[in-house]
Amino acid sequence: MEVHHHAHHGKRKWTHYFWEFLMLFLAVFCGFLAEYQLEHVIENQREKKYILSFIEDLKADTTKINQVLQASIEHRNGLDSLMGVLKEPGFVNNPGKFENYVNNVFLLLAFHQTDRTLQQLKNAGGMRLIRKQAASDSIISYDNMVKEVEEQKEDLYNANQAAANLTVQIFDFNSSNNPFINRTLVPRPEKFKLLTTEPTKLGELFNSILGFKVTSFIYCVWLEELKRNAERQIIFLKKEYHLK
């Protein structure tokens, strides 16, 4: 009968197991490092993308502010003309000049923030996506100043409403050249008319228009400061993130 002998392996040393464990550990650890580095690169790209987008929003804001500031100068000149007409001798007998400037009472020139990027950041979990503390503080500072400008805009709106409400109490807009009135149905009177010639009421209108003008000027002072803030933000963020 043939007998088969099985080979016997020698007992492994503990160092063999140690090296197996070390190699496995290093493989897992290197995989973790690679994944962490990839995630880090992706987060850097996302952060930079948000910063570039915010800079574009700031540029859009400065353009809008410039437009409002320029138009507001002409608007306040129109309000000056309104007040001048109201103080002309014999105005109540010839109010037609007022018609040339009356639209200025109803004109509200205001800035609206380009908040595309800020809304995206808020929807995506807030400012935690902007990991550089200085950049995050800078963005929050600008947004807070926009909120202060919004409060000034509320004052501007109230001043506008006060002047507009008095204007419609004093002037007969059926006698005006109003494009929204169908003159085939409502014939226009021969001349622009007043609903009242009461001096007190006309004085209230003058003061209300003046208040509107002053509020517009203050609002524009805030806009000037917001514009300077936006320009500083652009320079700072480009430097912070090494952007051209």
Mean pLDDT of 200-207: 95
Mean pLDDT of 206-212: 97
Domain boundaries, the chain: 14-240
Which one, of 79, 71, 72, lies nearest residue 209 by Cα? 79
Which one, of 126, 146, 139, 147, lies nearest residue 237 by Cα? 139
Q: 3-class DSSP state for residue 241?
A: coil
Q: What's the pLDDT score for residue 50?
A: 87
| Distance of alpha carbon 234 from alpha carbon 238, whole angstroms | 6
Which DSSP string do the residues of 40-88 spell out, in sequence order? Answer: HHHHHHHHHHHHHHHHHHHHHHHHHHHHHHHHHHHHHHHHHHHHHHHTS
Q: Taking the alpha carbons of 178, 101, 221, 238 in that order, is the dihedral positive or negative?
A: positive
**3 has pLDDT over 80:** no
Residue 79 pLDDT class (50, 70, 90 cuts): very high
Residue 227 pLDDT class (50, 70, 90 cuts): very high
Note the pLDDT tens digit of each residue in 59-77.
999 999 999 999 999 999 9
Strands 171-172 and 193-194: antiparallel
Q: Kindly list the distances between the CA atom of residue 139 and the CA atoms of 144, 189, 232, 244, in Å, as whole numbers in the listed order.
A: 9, 56, 11, 19
**129 has pLDDT over 90:** no
Give, in degrees to the nearest 5, the angle at Cα 131 between 126 and 135. Answer: 90
| Distance of alpha carbon 62 from alpha carbon 152, whole angstroms | 18
CATH 1.20.120 fits 14-240, yes or no: yes
